Amino acid sequence: MKHISSANNEHIRHLHRLLSQGKFRRQYAQTVLEGVHLLQVFLQSGGRPVGVYIPEAKMPSEEVRKLTAVLPEDRIFSVSDGILKKISSLTCADDILALIDIPLSGTLPDKGDCVVLDGVQDPGNVGTVLRSAAAAGVGKVVLGKGCADVWSPKVLRAGMGAHFLLDIYPQADLEIWLARYEDRVFATALREEKQAVLYGEDLCKPTAWVFGNEGAGVGKAVLDRADKCVRIPMHDATESLNVAMAATICLFEQMRQRSAY
């Protein structure tokens, strides 16, 4: 096991760049997991980190000993206290950071259930949608080019480990992809000619669910590819739902209907 005692160490500088700049995450195809929970989920999914950086004061803890017992020694680094806190976006005291390679996306799916995000820019919303997709048993998430960086620290924290239970396809050209997608496409939007009420629809068939930008909604080019625009009934006094909440309602209604068969 190696020890890092300086904030100017090349490992620490690399972690800092990945945590703070999307261009470095894309350049190196790497990201950083902050905190024990994300690392545990990553390991449980079969992932193997490039490096795990542990504050020196945490090394004797039982939790850390269990983690390090399943990791190659040359991938574990003890770090002098206070150094990781300077680069982490966590508000708590020093915690473990793990460097990982971003999983390869593979080929976009031609059919089957999936969640599609069109211009969803808030990292918290993106992460929450990923959690809901994983919890509702929808294993594929496709993100258009205008979405928040799905592998950023904020999205990873909001996802609470859901990233490692899903196949994720970032930076997709949604219009081109949806033109060849074989199953039906439902978008949450108000559009009279394609309007349907969520609870009146049969949701047992494979579906691509499209959820749009927090302010502008689903873009017209993507909306034109939808077979139906689904409306969630609400009390008259309310105007709209948060995109992550809307996605959760749709996905769990789908799961509810399918559980009866």
How long, in residues, is the chain? 261
Angle between helices 123-135 and 243-259 (to 10 degrees): 0
Radius of gyration of the chain measured on its C-alpha atoms: 21
What is the reported pTM?
Answer: 0.92
What's the pLDDT score for residue 260?
A: 62
Q: How far apart are CA 66 and CA 40, in angstroms?
A: 10
- The residues pairing with 140 across neighbouring beta strands, listed in sequence order, are 167
Cα–Cα distance list, 60 to 55, 65, 78, 219, 239 (Å):
10, 7, 11, 52, 53
What's the pLDDT score for residue 91?
A: 65
And the tokens for 184? 């039906």
Q: How far apart are CA 131 and CA 197, in angstroms?
A: 24
3-state secondary structure at position 92? coil
Low-confidence ranges of the chain (pLDDT < 50): none
Question: What sections of the chain are H helices per DSSP?
Answer: 10-20, 22-28, 36-44, 62-68, 83-87, 123-135, 153-159, 174-180, 220-223, 243-259
Closest CA to 137 of 252, 257, 242: 252
What's the pLDDT score for residue 63?
A: 87
What's the pLDDT score for residue 195?
A: 82
Closest CA to 19 of 2, 10, 32: 32
Residue 188 amino acid letter: T
What's the pLDDT score for residue 89?
A: 76
Q: How is the chain split among helix, strand and coil, in percent rounded to 5?
A: 40, 20, 40
3-state secondary structure at position 198? helix
